[in-house]
Structure 1
Amino acid sequence: MRKQLTDDEVDAFRARLVKAAEGLFAKHGVAGVTMRQIAHVLGYSQTAAYRYFADKDEILAAVRTSALNRFCDQLESAFDLRCDARQNARNVGKAFLDFALNHPNSYRFIFDAGQPVPADLPGFDGVAKRFNSTMVSYVQALIDEGLIVGDAQAIGHSFCVAAHGIVMMHLSGHIPTVKARDELHRRTMRMMYLGVKKPDGVKKRMQLKDMSVKIRKSPKT
């Protein structure tokens, strides 16, 4: 009788299989990899792989979900509550670029439109919301500090799309060096920031209004 695996053992095996599959997909291309090859890398039969994933598309979806989780880990670790909003925006932007530079295959798996959308995969909805949050939270901090105005989600997605375009141009060779990529990213983000920057007069009026509110609320002596 086959030993009944615990949930932790099942999760551990699935994680190992996904990691092995990502390496094979990156080396041979998705079309050049079979379920048998993936299982063979781990020392298991093709039948064993089918006990954990219905087919190769489901494995690929799991690879994308895993990569997106790691991407979110890096973006979230860049946000430091001890820093001001502008520094955090720079930190998150650098983390975005660094992940794509250090893990180009994982980055491609996340955003490749030609791959199956893992919407039905357990856990993907959560990581998609997590990624959306990373793209919005640092922008909301800029709004909260009175530096920019607008809808945090719309602005965050715009920054993300611009950064992604620059990254893909670099990965495809159209931006030849990391230095050139980083300089284009800096200039692009600066122009976009200036487009949503709060006018100085508005910021000063809001500061004066906040001061007057605090004065009115001060307890009488």
Structure 2
Amino acid sequence: MLSEEISVKQRLVTATARIFAEEGYEAVSMRRVAAEAGYSQMAAYRHFESKEALIQHVCADLYQQFATRMMAEMAKTDDPWKKIHLFAAALLRFALQYPDHYSLIFLVRHPDPKVIETRESLARGFLAGVRETVSVLLPPETRPADVDAALRRMMASAHGTMALLLAHPQPYALNRTNALRDLETTFGLLLGRGQAGSRS
């Protein structure tokens, strides 16, 4: 019975993520989500008290999945440059495997302040781990504000590349291989090397 309840909840979450990413916040309704998931509206309300609660759960759940995957990849090595390479590769893999999820987490602006705060709170925890690796790769005298700036530029480059790859790859001749190469090159330049993982 418990496994059935989890399955119902997961299907509702998956349907919500798809509708939100493809059609926006206004297109999401408890009736629509329930129908897409193959359940009654009453079943949806048994798991979530409102549309806002459902979307908040979706955003938190998807970001947690993303952060867990990224940190697991980076934990595979102690070499900071290899960590950056694994991070770039895992980010690309997640975006291509779950494009709707990636868009919902990073590319869709949510109107509910509670959802934004939940997402930002999770982001702070995840980025703290990435920031630690970035700080190791920069010169010891680098100011904290400059570490933050390097991380910010890395993430801006990453999300920009993913947005183009998911939505407009053809005009830029962008594919999985050169997207990863672009990320590694940009990360390397921001962190003081020609390409992440290269040795001088």
TM-score, structure 2 normalization: 0.73
**What RMSD, in angstroms, separates the aligned Cα atoms of the two structures?**
3.4
User: Larger % of helix: which?
Assistant: 2
User: Is the Cα–Cα contact under 8 Å of residues 61 and 118 in structure 1 kept in the other structure?
Assistant: no
How far is 1:150 from its partner? 3.7
Matches within 5 A, 1:155-174: 155-173=150-168, 174=171
Letter in 2 for 1:181: A
| Correspondence for 1:109 | 104
C-alpha change, 1:89 and 1:153, in structure 2 (3 Å) is same
How far is 1:75 from its partner? 0.9
**How far does the alpha carbon of each residue in 1:116-166 deviate from its partner, in whole angstroms, 9 at most, with x for none?**
3463589656523322224313213324xx578342333222211121111
| Correspondence for 1:185 | 183
Q: Distance in 2 between matches of 1:15 and 1:122?
A: 22
User: Is the Cα–Cα contact under 8 Å of residues 72 and 134 in structure 1 kept in the other structure?
Assistant: no
C-alpha change, 1:129 and 1:27, in structure 2 (3 Å) is closer
**How far does the alpha carbon of each residue in 1:148-204 deviate from its partner, in whole angstroms, 9 at most, with x for none?**
834233322221112111111222215333233223223322221228xxxxxxxxx
User: Is the Cα–Cα contact under 8 Å of residues 65 and 118 in structure 1 kept in the other structure?
Assistant: no
C-alpha change, 1:129 and 1:114, in structure 2 (3 Å) is closer
Unpaired stretches in structure 1, ≥5 consecutive residues: 196-221
Letter in 2 for 1:116: P
Q: Which of structures 1 and 2 has the larger relative contact order (alpha carbons within 8 angstroms, sep 6+)?
A: 2
- Does residue 147 of structure 2 align to residue 149 of structure 1? no
How far is 1:104 from its partner? 1.1
Aligned length: 188
- Does residue 16 of structure 2 align to residue 18 of structure 1? no
Matches within 5 A, 1:59-208: 59-80=54-75, 82-117=77-112, 119=114, 124=119, 126-143=121-138, 149-151=142-144, 152-173=147-168, 174-178=171-175, 179-194=177-192
State the percentage of identical aligned residues: 24
Q: Distance in 2 between matches of 1:149 and 1:156?
A: 13
| Correspondence for 1:207 | none
C-alpha change, 1:48 and 1:153, in structure 2 (3 Å) is same
Letter in 2 for 1:40: A
- Greater CA radius of gyration, 1 or 2? 1
How far is 1:77 from its partner? 1.0
C-alpha change, 1:89 and 1:176, in structure 2 (3 Å) is same
C-alpha change, 1:119 and 1:180, in structure 2 (3 Å) is same
Unpaired stretches in structure 2, ≥5 consecutive residues: 194-200
- Further displaced range: 98-107 or 182-191: 182-191
TM-score, structure 1 normalization: 0.67
User: Is the Cα–Cα contact under 8 Å of residues 13 and 58 in structure 2 kept in the other structure?
Assistant: yes
